[in-house]
Amino acid sequence: MTTRSAHPSRRVRTRRTLGHTSTAAVAAAFAALVCFAGSSNAAKAGSTQTLTASADTYLRSGAPDTNEGGAPFTMLRASGENRTLVSFSESQIQAAAGTGRLISATLTFPITQNSNNWGSTGRTVSVYRLTSPWSEGNGYVQGAQPPNRGTGAGATWNCATDANIATQATDCSGVTAWTMGKPSQPQLHPWVEPATSSALIQNGQTGALSFDVTPDVQAFLAGTAQNDGWIVKKDVEGDSGQVQFGSKEGGSPAQLVLTVASSADTTPPSAPANIGGRGYSRSVGTQAPT
């Protein structure tokens, strides 16, 4: 498979498909995008490029000093308020954009386990841009046999960076602490309201859950926002609904799919025969997973 989504109609179809929550459609789109990511060819201007998460973990209000950065999944669920964190390398985002113009950025989470307890009409999950740096950590406790609290620093419910995740103490203060609770005081939270975007998740849904994060990535590229990644949580966290997403450690990390046009390209792409021949030869480098 070529890395170039050279034919305009194919590219448009892919982007439209990602906007739906139809299981089959999302699964098909995700499979196609994974195929793009697997190629070693340098991406070209006007192409769709896929980055893989550089850090992922999830937070648990029910275990507020426990890190799950080494888990083979991330999770959302009502019991103990599980929330997913993910971030992508700023240098990889910059390299992927190059001097081009960002058309779209889609954050995609592969669904690896759906508990199918989302009510009869599904529930809404939203992604927010984080405003605090955090540390992934290497703990794997929930569901692990045996549990491994991990070593060193990592994110927890209480701490953006808990200095010692091996202990059940809150080892952070000041800039390394954050406020995940206090729902009536949103100004204390380390994320931007309102949500960047939302998606519906339903019983029986497989494939992937995707969010449009174009404005956030545009802000990263423009230098008007710091790239601290995103947090994903259910809009009503007390409602039933549990899902696991793939993680780096599980071999199926979240992906950031960027569609970038050449900075000189102000018109839709021309026929495939013209691409690469004149003005489309800029190489932006291969995005290897980290």
Binding site for Ca ion (CB under 5 A): 56, 69, 247-248
Closest CA to 67 of 130, 1, 154, 7: 154
In the bound state with Ca ion, the residue whose beta carbon lies nearer, of 81 and 249, is: 249
**Nearest distance from C-beta of residue 249 to Ca ion, angstroms:** 5
Q: Indicate the residue among 70 and 190 with the shorter CB distance to Ca ion.
A: 70
| 51 three-state secondary structure | strand
Shortest distance, position 130 Cβ to Ca ion, whole Å: 15
Both tokens of 238, joined, read: 């007390």
* Shortest reach from residue 56's CB to Ca ion, in Å: 4
Cβ closest to Ca ion, residue 56 vs residue 216: 56
Q: Are 93 and 220 in contact (CB under 8 A)?
A: yes
Instruction: Identify residue 42 by its one-letter amino acid code.
Output: A
Which residue's CB is nearer to Ca ion, number 251 or number 268? 251
User: Residue 20 Cβ, how far from Ca ion at the closest point, in Å?
Assistant: 28
User: Minimum CB separation from Ca ion for residue 55, in Å?
Assistant: 7
Could you tell me the end-to-end alpha-carbon distance of the chain, in angstroms, rounded to an integer?
Answer: 23
C-beta of 67 vs 176, nearer to Ca ion: 67
User: What tokens were used for 277?
Assistant: 């021949």
- What sign for the dihedral angle of Cα 233, 235, 241, 243? negative
Closest-approach residue to Ca ion (CB): 56
Dihedral of alpha carbons 290, 210, 15, 196, sign: negative
**Greatest extent of the chain over all pairs of C-alpha atoms, in Å:** 62
